[in-house]
């Protein structure tokens, strides 16, 4: 013997463990998988938060119909309270801002756009939702089949 102790018990094949290269490869693969999972997760979060816009528009449309029965016309403003407005503050979570774009004796058009500073501004396919007095749903730039589901 040369005086040195072999930590593997004298035989290299019996030495258990991973090399630095093997560990680095595993870390790189795990990082790539985490990056892909996070991107997919965020796209689902944006899609689920669209419900804030669609639910807000449907609630505002129902409030418009109630207002029509009481006042004989559609409200031109969401706030203040009736008879000057609907008394409808906006979407539940505040991720979208609602506006009455048009209201007259013949009907209304309500629009929802992402609120200032909302993460929904990153939802590029669905930047604007709208609903009219006939229940017609629209969205831009993607069609309602994408945004309203």
Q: What is the pLDDT of residue 15?
A: 63
Sign of CA dihedral 136, 109, 126, 140: positive
> How much is the pTM?
0.77
What confidence tens digit (pLDDT) does each residue in 84-105 have? 999 988 899 999 999 999 999 8
Side-chain half-sphere CA neighbours of 97 within 13 A: 10
Residue 42 lies in a domain: no
Domain range for 101:
50-147
Instruction: Name the stretches of the chain with pLDDT < 70.
Output: 1-15
The number of folded domains in the chain is 1
- Whether residue 6 lies inside any domain: the answer is no
By three-state DSSP, how is residue 100 classified? strand
Residue pair 113/40 in contact by the 8 Å Cβ criterion: no
Is 102 part of a structural domain of the chain?
Answer: yes
Q: Is residue 66 part of a domain?
A: yes
Q: What is the pLDDT of residue 36?
A: 85
pLDDT of residue 28: 94
Whether 104 maps to a domain, the answer reads yes
């Amino acid at each position: 013997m040369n005086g040195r102790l072999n930590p593997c018990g004298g035989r290299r094949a019996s030495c258990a463990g991973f090399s630095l290269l093997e560990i680095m490869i595993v870390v790189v693969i795990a990082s790539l998988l985490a990056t892909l999972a996070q991107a997919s997760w965020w796209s689902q979060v944006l899609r689920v938060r669209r419900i804030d816009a669609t639910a807000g528009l449907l609630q505002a449309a129902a409030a418009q119909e109630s207002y029509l029965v009481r006042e004989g016309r559609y409200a031109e403003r969401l706030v203040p309270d009736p008879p000057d407005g609907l008394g409808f503050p906006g979407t539940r979570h505040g991720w979208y801002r609602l506006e009455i774009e048009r209201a007259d004796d013949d009907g209304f058009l309500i629009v929802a756009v992402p609120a200032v500073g909302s993460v929904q501004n990153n939802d590029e396919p669905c930047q604007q939702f709208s609903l009219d007095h006939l229940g017609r749903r629209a969205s831009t730039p993607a069609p309602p089949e994408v945004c309203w589901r």
